[in-house]
Amino acid sequence: MIAVVIPTYRRPDMLRALLLSLRTGTRVPDEVIVVDNDPTGSASPEPIDGLHVRVIQAGLGLSVAGARNVGWKESSSDITFFIDDDNVVEPTAIAELARSFEIGDVGLAGPIIYAGDGGTIWCAGITRSPWTGFTRCLLSGATELPSESTWLTEDMPDAFAVPRDVLEAVGGFDEQCFPIHYEEADLGARIRECGLRTIVVRDARVRHYGWVGLSAGRAMVRATVSHGEGRARQMALSRIRFHARHSRGLHRVSSVGLFIPVWLVVTSMACLPARAPLISRLTTVRAIWAGAIAGYAELVAGRTGG
């Protein structure tokens, strides 16, 4: 059995488009669990014939990790496909992801994610430099796919499938340390520590309609305008927590001690030209530095889980 877990927050039109795409796939999921993170409750999708949808009012705000944990724990399926509400799936996506787990050493499988309706790839996997900590989306901007049917990735944003027994083995998402940002990276790292592979499946495809092409700074300013400064603060805090937990030796010194401060400066500067009121831009910069200060304070106190 396959469950689809969808965290959502005040995007009813996008949510409905995603649900309709699930209904028209070659493998219709056995369960669809929508986890509404709006504290006031806003997700009430109209029924879709042939699609069993259950809505859980979690009200967890920015905690996408918490919403995902609520969803998979409420399901009874063998495989959970997590997908954010600003995506749609192509017809064979779920079937191809499910097929990838027939090889027993796969712990996470993600699709190719395209940027909207065009033929340009947004993300086909993640690679992260151990020295700098900088993250790169594989094949970003490309239109051609490799000949391999699968390849390794460190984790996946937005859309990925994980068997239930793997989620149980690693304890799901760490919603306390990584409520949003790096929650997927932390999950992927812990899955690989179990000796399992995390892969991208070429013939599973998803289309992403969220914030594509924005710099980290501009994206955070936009998030501050929409949701307040908590997201920008958590973005910096999670970055430090992740590398403090999963980096070792000189890699940890380099990423946490040198390149995260560089990221702080570059990202703060990228906030300034964003098209938003000055107060929103300055609030975002302040939040980034507040998150960094909190992260380094945790590191000094030995409370990062590393």
With 90 as the cut, is the pLDDT of residue 305 above it? Answer: no
pLDDT at 154: 96
Name the token pair of 203.
């013939």
Say how far apart CA 299 and CA 306 lie, in whole Å. 9
In sequence order, the β-bridge partners of residue 201 are 111, 150
Q: Quickly name the fold that domain 2-208 has.
A: Spore Coat Polysaccharide Biosynthesis Protein SpsA; Chain A (3.90.550)
169-219 pLDDT, tens digit each: 999 999 999 999 999 999 999 999 999 999 999 999 999 997 766 667 788
Lowest mean pLDDT among 38-42, 72-76, 95-99, 113-117: 38-42
CA 197 to chain centroid? 18
Give the residue carrying structure tokens 């702080």. 264
Say how far apart CA 9 and CA 64 lie, in whole Å. 9
137-154 pLDDT, tens digit each: 999 999 999 999 999 999
CA atoms within 13 A on the CB side of 203: 11
List Cα–Cα distances, 288 to 63, 185, 252, in angstroms. Answer: 18, 19, 21
Name the token pair of 244.
């403090």
With 70 as the cut, is the pLDDT of residue 112 above it? Answer: yes
24-80 pLDDT, tens digit each: 999 999 999 999 999 887 777 888 888 989 999 999 998 999 999 999 999 999 999
pLDDT at 161: 98
Domain ranges of the chain: 2-208, 216-301
The whole-model pTM stands at 0.94
> Which residues lie closer than 8 Å to 169 by C-beta, 6 or more apart?
194
Q: pLDDT-based confidence at 294, cuts 50/70/90?
A: very high
pLDDT at 213: 62
